[in-house]
Chains A and B, each alone.
Chain A
């Protein structure tokens, strides 16, 4: 079946502009995650959504970052007034929550490479 998709694949913007990154999870997956991968580094958790529960925003680096998930499916990560240090690959993942503390694997999209000039 179709995997996690993200758009755009690459985004170049000027410092100070706002950007929106989109994630379309695997159909039926109730959990959705955003991570950031800065050049040559590992992945850093940003935010996750689970069904109708309040999202865990504990990883967002500043109030310029926000995310929403509409209808329990597609998610948009918005970065306002972009800075050069926001340049990174933004990865989205989704997983199927089996409930009762059972975990399932997170499947990743191809990412959006953001470059802030």
Chain B
């Protein structure tokens, strides 16, 4: 069974600074996907970034980037130039590669609550 661990229940950062959120996972699969989702107080889960395990290059989306270490089973999220609007819960999630179709369930970590201060 796959598990996802986020060891930082809470983090805080000053506006404009950089913060890194940690995520580790356990799996025996070779093909899989990793995601970071953001959940602001509105409850809406918003995709931040995704990474295919077969890709060695780390994914980036504007101010968000990941450090994907497949051998270490680590998938950290770096937020550069933090903004007040980045305040939210951040969830790391794992999805096994489907065999028969392009779908499968997500397995989530417990989340990290990030507060960005002015």
Contacts and interface: CB of A to CB of B under 8 A. Distances in A.
A, B in one complex: yes
A85 B46 CA distance: 26
Q: Is the interface of B mostly helix, strand, loop or mixed?
A: loop
B108 A31 contact: no
Interface string B12-56: 000000000000000000000101010000111111001000000
Interface in B62-100: 91, 93, 95, 97-100
SS of A interface (majority): loop
Q: B42, B46, B50, B101 — which one has the most chain A CB atoms within 10 A of its CB?
A: B101
A99 B46 CA distance: 24
Interface residues of B, number: 29
Contact-residue size bin, chain A (C-beta under 8 Å from the other chain): 35 or more
A101 B44 contact: no
B50 A56 contact: no
Interface stretch (A14-22, A41-49, A67-75): A41-49
Contacts of A93: 45, 106
